[in-house]
Amino acid sequence: MNLIGNLIWIVFGGFFIFIEYLIGGLILCLTIIGIPFGLQSFKFAFVGLAPFGVKITDTSSNTGCLSTIMNIIWLIFGGFWIALTHLFFGLLLCITVIGIPFGRQHFKLMNLAFSPFGKSIS
């Protein structure tokens, strides 16, 4: 079921999501300050390519409050708008019964958009 969902996802927009996050990550990695944010954008790219079967979990890291500070900076400078975009598409897809699994994947990406630092993908 995950394979079929991922194939349909890729055909109907997942590949474009992947390319957009990949280009954004490359642009962010041009500066030293942007590298951590670019790496998080790469995380979005690979989840955006094939979200079915991917689990996003919180990691217990020993970075202290650094991930919290980075999440706040992320949220202020773009994460909020990414989350709103995924919320919009998630709600739009949940209008039909067929679109509900795809809407749930957008909600998963929305959760990651709020706080990508301190989360791992498995």
Band (13; pLDDT cuts 50, 70, 90): confident
Q: What are residue 120's DSSP bridge partners?
A: 57
**Which structural domain, as residue segments, surrounds residue 18?**
2-121
For the cut 90, the answer to whether the pLDDT of residue 51 exceeds it is yes
Sorting pLDDT into bands at 50, 70 and 90, what band is 66? Answer: confident
Per-residue model confidence (pLDDT) at position 98: 92
Strand partners, 121: 56
pTM confidence score: 0.86
For the chain, the first-to-last Cα distance in angstroms comes to: 17
**Number of domains the chain contains:** 1
Q: What residues have CB less than 8 Å from 37, skipping those under 6 apart?
A: 28, 70, 73, 74
Confidence of residue 92 (pLDDT cuts 50, 70, 90): very high
**Residue 64's pLDDT band (cuts 50, 70, 90):** low
Q: Is the pLDDT of residue 1 over 70?
A: yes
pLDDT at 39: 92
